[in-house]
Amino acid sequence: MPIRLNKAQVLKQFGLILFLTIPIPIIAQVTPAAPESIDKKKIKVSTASGQSVVVTANPLASDAALETLKKGGTAMDAVVAAQTVLTVVEPQSSGLGGGSFLMYWEEATKSLTALDGRETASAQVKEDMWINSDGNAMPWIKATKSPSAIGVPGTTALLWEGHRQFGRLPWENNFQRSIVLAKQGFIPSPRFLRSISLAKGLGISHSKDFKSLYFPNNSLPNQNVPFRNKELASTLSRISKGGINEFYLGSIANELIDDLQLFKNKKKEIKSITNEDLANYKVIKREPICKRYKSWKVCSFPPPSGGGVALLQTLGTYELLSKKNVSESTIKHWHLLAESLRFADADRSHWIGDPIDLPVPTKGLLDDNYIEERANTIKNNKATFRPLAGKPKGSELLDLASQPRTAGGGTTHLVVVDKYANVASYTSSVETVFGTRTLSGGMILNNQLTDFSFISKVKGKPIANRIKPNKRPLSSMAPVIVFKDNRPVLALGSPGGWLIPHYIANALIGTLDFQLSPKEVVSQKLLSVQPSYTVLEKDGNWSKEGSNIYQSLFKLGHQIKYSSFSSGLAVIKWHKGSWHGAADPRREGTALSLQGKKNP
């Protein structure tokens, strides 16, 4: 059956991914110690150092998070404050109508917790929900705005559970800033306005509420006038008082179901979540996945994310290959990184889905012998395109088909360390840009169910990420915490859809191997891969006259394209007695800190 998602074209059209092939430039030397060092004059990066540090994708959210830390709150309180503010000021990326993953290090108990607040498919969904009557997959752009794409939002439940376990300030206090901002307004940021234009390009005519709030009188909100969202202020205020039950069982749940009913009345084919689905929603405490990388232990999120597995496989493969190829050449570094990523991608598009449906051979995928076996098939002097998935232990009884990559867009990452030395690494999403571009109670509703494979099988073989009732779609989100001698020394993550583990692998290797500072690491130019070509970030030294990287990679057989990337790295690193944070200059984030005594 032909797959007609055509996502690349759609994304290209709207500038989400832009690939430009440029001619081979001439030679220059860039050392592995600074693969793409930044031009400090040109790039302004928000950084902060101290005992307690926050990095989020928006200055107002960073400020709210820092405020909670000032009041003696924990990193978890800061996550609640930041996420509720982001719901107001960065609704294109995340919000209470979406889902999220949290990695949390609690210093007092020396324990690492992974909370899964991913959106969940309704008990009513059908496996063929993204298949048209002609038997073909629905065009992705159409699915992105369908109310059928809304998964049961998990973010509120995750915040509630995280706060119950790790919070110190009253739940309600952590909502104060967001309620004020929604009620009194905030000056719209350039990215906020650009995202509305992007959403308009993807289609907003299906949602009266979206248009009247974000595109009033057929134009963008005035950039000099505070932007208010009174309905959201009321929603936030009710959740701040009523907690989780207000959201999943109370008036907010009922309003959401009523709003969805209006869509269903217009289009009978729409299947969307029910009161029961909301009532049944559960945050899942998962076992973090950790793997030794040189002298560090890197921990990330397990399935239903494929991002964490891909990251750990990439690092494992890269470590083995770079040990074998000890030459200090920059080219080796980029070649081996590209190959390690491509092999990991082949596995994640084949083996990973929510384990509630088909078993996922996570242990096998991360097994040292398996990674060595995979690494042995990678050539030191030649790029491999379209590598196939391997056969990890635990997959013997599975006969699956691979799925095409998923697209992404609306996601945010934040990191926090507090004065108690707790560390939070948190990625949150509504998918695409403004999710479905539909609203309830002033909240953007996600379209995360477009992260499922649109087709459920190929030639009779099931796809791990097929749609099933009560299942969570495959994600790429990979919040990370890195340990040295059992204490956290680095936390990071990024939005970026399928490319998330690519961005993080670049950043981790930059930080750990090349000892780049968070500022340098968020500013370095990134390498990514597709199954049949390698992608270099535009405007790096490697695309300037004088760079030999293109030429050398080309000689190794890499098909190279250039692209702008929309990573949103948030990084904090322990170095010489304090934490240092930086926000990705490609977005609008800020790093802020409280000065004070040093962490142990």
Q: So which residues are the catalytic ones?
A: 411
Q: How far is the CB of 18 from ligand GLU (least distance, A)?
A: 15
Contacting residues toward ligand GLU, per CB under 6 A: 408-409, 411, 429, 431, 448, 451, 475-477, 495-497, 500
> Between 61 and 477, whose beta carbon lies closer to ligand GLU?
477
| Nearest of 111, 168, 70 to residue 488 by alpha carbon | 111
Q: Which two tokens stand for residue 460?
A: 């009779």
CA distances from 113 to 103, 162, 298, 461 (A): 6, 9, 14, 35
Residue number of the CB closest to ligand GLU reads: 408
> Between 49 and 425, whose beta carbon lies closer to ligand GLU?
425
> Between 181 and 535, whose beta carbon lies closer to ligand GLU?
535
> What letter would DSSP give residue 489?
E
> Between 74 and 406, whose beta carbon lies closer to ligand GLU?
406
Q: How far is the CB of 474 from ligand GLU (least distance, A)?
A: 7
> What letter would DSSP give residue 30?
-
Cα separation of 270 and 397, whole Å? Answer: 36
Q: How far is the CB of 467 from ligand GLU (least distance, A)?
A: 15
> Between 497 and 518, whose beta carbon lies closer to ligand GLU?
497
Residue 324, Cβ neighbours under 10 Å: how many?
12
| Residue 142, H or E segment | helix 140-144
How are the residues of the chain apportioned to helix, strand and coil, as percentages rounded to the nearest 5? 35, 20, 45
Long-range Cβ contacts of 246-250 (<8 Å, 24+ apart): 247/96, 247/153, 247/156, 247/157, 247/278, 248/156, 248/157, 248/278, 248/279, 248/281, 249/278, 249/279
> Between 408 and 518, whose beta carbon lies closer to ligand GLU?
408
Contact 278, 190 (CB under 8 A): no
CA distances from 304 to 112, 114, 307, 451 (A): 18, 12, 9, 11
Q: Which two tokens stand for residue 169?
A: 């300030």
Q: How far is the CB of 349 from ligand GLU (least distance, A)?
A: 12
Beta bridge partners of 417: 53, 423
Residue 276, Cβ neighbours under 10 Å: how many?
13
Cα separation of 508 and 312, whole Å? Answer: 11
Cα separation of 118 and 172, whole Å? Answer: 23
CA distances from 538 to 510, 560, 564 (A): 18, 11, 5
Q: How far is the CB of 72 from ligand GLU (least distance, A)?
A: 33
Q: Which two tokens stand for residue 575?
A: 């170095």
> Between 357 and 431, whose beta carbon lies closer to ligand GLU?
431
Q: How far is the CB of 465 from ligand GLU (least distance, A)?
A: 11
For the CA atoms of 54, 60, 64, 69, what is the dihedral angle to 10 degrees? Answer: 30
Q: How far is the CB of 515 from ligand GLU (least distance, A)?
A: 28
Q: How far is the CB of 482 from ligand GLU (least distance, A)?
A: 20
> Between 243 and 353, whose beta carbon lies closer to ligand GLU?
353
